[in-house]
Amino acid sequence: MNHYTKLSIIFFRILGALSMLLGFMGVVYWLLGTLLGSTSDSMSSARGLSSIIFIFAGIIIYYLGKPISKIIGKDIDD
């Protein structure tokens, strides 16, 4: 594993972690909006669904970061 592969792994893991964080923040915002009754029903369900999609996408990006990075960095020489 060369330097560029390791750098790519770090990039994908940070990207996945940020996506998960954004999803969790959306869930908190969705729950607070639902509890306070300040959002409409259609916007509330769309906000909750998009937050869950961000969480799952972040998990997938985080765990597939290493295999994707190996494919990306295999032909790059130091």
**Domain locations in the chain as residue ranges:** 3-73
Burial 40-71 (b: 16+ CB within 10 A, else e): eeeebeebbeebeebbebbeebbeebeeebee
pLDDT at 46: 79
Give per-residue pLDDT as tens, 12-21: 999 999 999 9
Maximum average pLDDT range among 8-12, 48-52, 73-77: 8-12
In this predicted structure, the answer to whether residue 25 has a pLDDT above a threshold of 80 is yes
Look up tokens 């990207």; give the residue: 15
Q: What is the dihedral of CA 15, 19, 21, 27, to 10 degrees?
A: 180
Q: What is the pLDDT of residues 26-71, one digit of tens each?
A: 888 888 877 877 666 666 777 888 899 999 999 999 999 999 988 8
The count of other CB atoms within 10 Å of the CB of residue 16 is 19
pLDDT at 38: 67
